Chains A and B, each alone.
Chain A
């Protein structure tokens, strides 16, 4: 069995439909456990006070904002190379989820920054690259909506996605590239394994990160199925008009 079998729209829908309730159920359960644990049962940080509770939303949302773009990049490259419609539609389906994740990261970051940094916003490398990523998401969605021919739209949005990937990379590594600005370094460096977050905060944080990941997967499955059906509907309507 090959992974490319799932590029068949019927096979994709048949496989993803039974998975969605499980993935979404696990995501909601994870969110409830992680957020309730983080909000009610973790202590205040000695410097940040109770604002540390915002990390259970801010960090997973920021992580998914970047990862959603990378998922869109992979799907766009598959479209450009192999011309599988499902991959182009999956990229389109992921964009609004990425917008919401980026918006949550920006909003919670600003709300946290006001009392901790003394400002809602600073033109810091990471914040700025995140804002540009947010604008790229909006541009990507607008481009899909602006072009009638779906294949042309998929081609052009794929190119935009490749260009925007520069800012997705910058969003993740801006703190390391430019050792300046207000935003702190990575709290949970995957490569080195060392982290600056205490266990008491880390466990609910990881639960929230996994839950946000599952929520993203569940929503991508739902929205890709919707896009496949919408495309079929448009094709049938066009055929009936002829």
Chain B
């Protein structure tokens, strides 16, 4: 299944590995921060409601 990459296998594979790693990290960190900020905002709004 793996295509024959010839003399440039290391270059092609490292380009794909580095790019996909960066894209996955970008998406993962964006989603993680989104969830974290949402939870923090919910907590602040709850505290505000409870405040006298």
Binding site for B on A (CB under 8 A): 24, 31, 35, 39-40, 44, 49-51, 53-54, 57-58, 61, 96-97, 100, 103-104, 107-108, 111-112, 114-115, 215, 219, 222-223, 225-226, 229-230, 232-233, 236-237, 240
Contact = CB atoms under 8 A, between A and B. Distances in A.
A1 to B, nearest CB: 27
Most chain A CB within a 10 A radius of its CB, from B6, B7, B23, B40: B23
B15 A57 contact: yes
Interface string B11-52: 110111011001101110011011001101100110110010
For chain B, give the interface size range.
Answer: 20 to 34
A49 B9 CA distance: 10
Contacts of A53: 5, 12, 16
Contacts of B23: 31, 100, 104, 215
A229 B37 contact: yes
18 contacts: A24-B27, A35-B16, A49-B8, A54-B16, A104-B19, A107-B18, A108-B15, A112-B11, A114-B11, A115-B7, A215-B27, A225-B34, A226-B38, A232-B41, A233-B40, A233-B41, A240-B44, A240-B47
A236 B37 contact: no
A85 to B, nearest CB: 16
Nearest to B51: A240
B48 to A, nearest CB: 6
Contacts of A112: 11, 15
Given A49-B6, A115-B8, A236-B44, 19 more contacts: A49-B7, A50-B4, A50-B9, A51-B12, A53-B5, A57-B19, A100-B22, A100-B23, A104-B23, A107-B15, A215-B27, A223-B34, A226-B37, A229-B37, A229-B38, A233-B41, A236-B41, A237-B44, A240-B51
